[in-house]
Structure 1
């Protein structure tokens, strides 16, 4: 059976999703919601069926069309209200990254997923890359891992809102590398020291370059060195990766198959199953999770930490000091409690002990409820 979905958002990224949905035989687009009805109608035409119902009210259109799930492809500022409306309507949600505009809002949505018992998955689309999966397999073969690094250097001229953003690199791009680092290391961050700056030739208003050193669990270090105004000899959009362990080194240039050198002997890890490609892979994972009751990579409890890494790095750059991740989580938790007006969601938030523990337990609880064997893949 196809999964009947309503998509919210028919802008630039929305059109990319509409094309992906149209190409997936396991998904049926039954409605498009947008505040601009002309954009929604254009989106329906782009999806190949101008007769697809459109509207400005998500709850009403979902009820009218018999939708079973929602795709939230809106701007980050709208992620919290749109996802919350869908969860309250009893519909699972697949949303574009980030989970929300702030860590506090992301925690609110994690609590809302608990309160409603509905899946909220964040499409961290760069995780859906078989080369990244293979790189993690190589890293697993290194024995005790001491360090991981990413070098990212691109020079895109976007125009528009990105060139006017504060902390543009950290906010809009670094989350992909940070999230991938969590995936590869299979650990979570403990602290970060970060500096950001804007080179004199930059065409961005906000800082377009940053360097960060994260301490992860087990005293592993992750180093990020990135720039969005680095013309010449550019890296892959996925970055250039190196991992060092007791038995050797693993490398991935972001565009080709990774490899590892185990003290002069090529590493040959087992081949992992394909995870699909980019947003198509995320969509397929979401559909499978909704139908099977399994837990997808990107379930909100596991995804919040990637957004927290971004906030912590920005806080470090502004304060000029090392930032402890748990401090950021606890401050966001307090802000979420203060802002929350839904009693069921507030009760969930209030019941949490440490936020880190609640996020870990929340992921495990979702997996247990679903009877899923894949809890180790969460995050």
Structure 2
């Protein structure tokens, strides 16, 4: 049985605690949170006797760990993940792996130099719906034009309401990562416009339109809003892919529909999800890698591309021009080296 240190005992950290508890091959060896009493209450609510700590370093030096779950705020991801990697403990981190591409490259270098695995949980890759949608597109020659509409209306309160780029920075990475999964390639460039509808309750731009270009010539367009009252989409968005041999749509949940040139629209049966969905599947993929399985799709060297899509989209919105992803990486490498 593997021992797990969980760093972060807020709402998402507690969800991860329950995800771990559903597996018989894992147990929580410590819970960490900087907020006094948060870790203790999370442990006591579940009837556990795991020790609690206020720092990741304290937990790593006091208890045995086979893996660490980093569920802290993004600004703490670099410090917590670095501490674990230097201690030889593999890390599964909540998204984003770090707030910036430069910091992500630092962690990628550290993971490579220590030989310790670091993975970001992009849990929205894991569902029968998106897998079936991807398979249906590939069966029709692969999408050359991919679109998603994401329209939701969360009243979070707190820091998200004050962010400069709440939709792009805090949410769009899910859709951007899903696009990479669906197209099976990484983008070359993006043009993005961000704005604040007059009725928005966010200080920053809560709506955005972005177009990414990929090396194959494929385009991915993202249309999103976090202040859309009425007729909201799934939290996975509402997708459409046009391919050489037809078109496929996915409602973000369980409905995949395909139509060829001479066919009637037909529902595509969903495939199985042997490792579950969402967090359960992300955790299963990570544990399988520790057992010698395939490199997880969220491994840091791979996942940094999804973060770079966010950074490039923000730069494009700020500058009003197309941004080339290679330039984002070049600047981030210089920044990482300077650090």
Unmatched 5+ stretches in structure 2: none
Q: Pairwise mapping of residues 202-281 of structure 1 onto structure 2 (< 5 A)?
A: 202-265=200-263, 266=266, 271=271, 274-281=274-281
Number of the residue aligned with 1:121: 119
- 3-state DSSP class of the match of 1:250? strand
Name 1:299's counterpart in structure 2.
299
Give yes or no for the alignment of 1:80 onto 2:78: yes
Residue 355 of structure 1 is matched in structure 2 by none
Give the superposition deviation at 1:268: 6.1
Q: Judge conservation of contact 2:128–2:270 (CA < 8 Å) in 1.
A: no
SS at match of 1:285: helix
Counterpart mapping for 1:97-116 below 5 A: 97-116=95-114
Corresponding residue for residue 31 of structure 1? 30
Q: Which runs of 5+ in 1 are unaligned?
A: 340-379
* Residue of structure 2 equivalent to 1:357: none
Q: Distance in 2 between matches of 1:80 and 1:115?
A: 16
Q: CA RMSD in A?
A: 1.6
Contact 2:165–2:204 (CA under 8 A) maintained in structure 1: yes
Measured after TM superposition, the shift of residue 141 of structure 1 is 1.4
CA distance in 2, matches of 1:23, 1:91: 22
Q: Distance in 2 between matches of 1:75 and 1:187?
A: 29
Q: Which residue of 1 aligns with 2:283?
A: 283
Q: CA-to-partner distance for each residue in 1:219-245, whole Å, 9 max, x for gaps? A: 100000000111111111100000001
Q: Distance in 2 between matches of 1:206 and 1:268?
A: 39
User: How far 1:257 moved relative to its partner?
Assistant: 2.9
1:31-180 equivalences under 5 Å are: 31-49=30-48, 51-180=49-178
Is the CA contact 2:256–2:267 (under 8 Å) kept in the aligned structure 1? no
Offset of residue 291 of structure 1? 2.1
1:260-314 superposed Cα distances (whole Å, 9 cap, x missing partner): 1122335869946544211111112111111225311211111000000000001
For each residue in 1:46-87, what CA deviation from the matched residue of structure 2 results, as whole angstroms up to 9, or x when unmatched? 3331x2111124234234321111100000000001000000
4+ residue segments displaced more than 4 Å = 266-273
Q: Specify the alignment match of 1:313 in structure 2.
A: 313
The aligned counterpart of 2:14 is: 15
**Whole-angstrom distance in 2 between the partners of 1:203 and 1:58:** 36
> Relative to structure 2, which stretch is displaced further, 256-265 or 177-186?
256-265
Instruction: From the two aligned structures, give the one with the greater helix fraction.
Output: 1
Is the contact between residue 18 and residue 47 of structure 1 (CA under 8 Å) also seen in structure 2? Answer: no
Deviations 1:136-187 (A, max 9, x none): 1011012153200001111111111111111100011110000000000001
Aligned to 1:349: none
How does the TM-score come out when normalised to structure 1? 0.86
